[in-house]
Amino acid sequence: MGPEAQAPNREAVSGSSAAPGSPGAPRVHGPALRRGVAMFVQQFNRKPRWITAAPGRVNLIGEHTDYTGGFVLPFTIDRDCYVIAAPGEIAGMSRIFAADMGTAEVGAAHGELWLADIRKGLYPLVGGKPPSGFARGSWKSYVGGAIDRTRELTTKAGGKALANVDMVIASDVPAGGGLASSAALELALAMWVQATSGVELAPWDVIKACREAEHSFAGVPCGVMDQAVVTLAQENHAIMMRCREPYKPVQVPMPASDKLAILVVNSNVRHALAAGEYASRVEACKQLETLLGALYLSDVDLASVENRRSEISEDQFNIATHVMEENTRVHAAVDCLKRGDLCGLGQLLTRSHDSLRDFYRVSCQELDAIVATAITHSGVFGARMVGGGFGGCAIVLCMPEVVESVSRTLRDMYRAKFSRDCSVTRVNPAGGAAVIVK
């Protein structure tokens, strides 16, 4: 079965509100919407009132640069996280059902149910911090953080207070796959908070609130790339952005789907060290900034780092090299997109992977094998790991004609080498977070 056939059964929902930047375009929905609505009806015995959606993303290039104030070039994909909700029916209690979490049976469905009084705040901060006994990094920490932080903004803006709710969350963005599943979740919730409170917030306020929620509640010191692209994306465009005030995101048209196929190859592994290693890279960049007297590592040029070579370790030098060269590659990639030079673009991606593997050291053998196999296949322009690393997904850019053959080659290699399956899906650049039904 090819990736086209593997792709979820997607449908266009008429009457849906379009993603920002694509007025009137019907949004194509994945199976999580149908699954989520069915679960809602089954769990709560009635129809939902609100549906919001927020997509996952692929970062074309500019990896591990956002938290150094550097450049990124992500686009959202046609895979969404959905929030499906209606006013609560049980006095003093919200029922929030996470359809993709845990394996516990809830009624006849799989998932986890959270019972809480949303009016009091899901995770009210104590002295600016989450309360004690709260499970940092759990799905509830993402949900509670995003709802509470967005609610602060809608309350300040004079919006209606949140009342208790019955809610199902279902997602087509694989968790832990390097496709920003957490930002998709945060932004789908933020869209719901806005819809139910009757207030439309400024996009950058929402982006920053959700990033802050991820820092304080989930404990991940992420950059701003994921929340920004999930909010601001326009269909068939990537966003080129410098990740620091004043941001100034620029929409960059992506090649048409008859010229370029974008495959997401999920290694289906997530190495346990992923979260700790991510935080340690962020910390290493901060130390370099202090040492080099720069506000942002991305402001420093490689020559200045070389001048201080004797004061920094080999590891630090490699980290700085990756960040600086990766920023240059982002600009080069934008030039390639403008010229329609897909071979040049592909080579930049492959060089980015080499750097993430050798200098930044955030890849793993599964991702390396996927990239190495892909780039030797004819018709492939380039490939690299995406997201934080240590598992998750790689992207492969190729000619549409070779999609079937590349996919088969990758699946065969992966099974033979790792005795497990990778999944290959063709994705398209999509729009941003949206309210589907309100």
Q: Where does this chain bind ligand GLA (CB under 6 A)?
A: 59, 63-64, 66-67, 180, 222-223, 225-226, 387-388
In angstroms, the Cα distances linking 259 to 49, 331, 349, 403, 430 are 40, 21, 17, 12, 17
**Catalytic member of 100, 205, 226, 315:** 226
In angstroms, the Cα distances linking 109 to 8, 23, 92, 98, 168 are 20, 36, 24, 10, 12
- Spell out the alpha helix ranges (H) of 340-364: 342-358
Nearer to ligand GLA, 50 or 360 (CB): 360
Residue 175 C-beta: closest distance to ligand GLA, Å:
13
Nearer to ligand GLA, 64 or 242 (CB): 64
Residue 124 C-beta: closest distance to ligand GLA, Å:
25
Q: Is 226 a catalytic residue?
A: yes
Residue 390 C-beta: closest distance to ligand GLA, Å:
11
Q: Residue 95 forms beta bridges with which residues? A: 115, 166
Residue 357 C-beta: closest distance to ligand GLA, Å:
14
Nearer to ligand GLA, 227 or 407 (CB): 227
> Cα(first)–Cα(last) distance of the chain, in Å?
38
φ/ψ bin of 379: left (φ > 0), alpha (ψ from -120 to 50), beta (otherwise): left
Distance CA 384, CA 375 (A): 9
Distance CA 273, CA 209 (A): 27
For the chain, what is the total number of helices (H) and then of strands (E)? 12, 17
Residue 225 C-beta: closest distance to ligand GLA, Å:
5
Using DSSP, state whether 146 is helix, strand or coil.
helix
Nearer to ligand GLA, 100 or 186 (CB): 186
Nearer to ligand GLA, 175 or 402 (CB): 175
Q: What kind and span of H or E run contains 417?
A: helix 403-418
Report, as residue numbers or ranges, the catalytic residues: 226
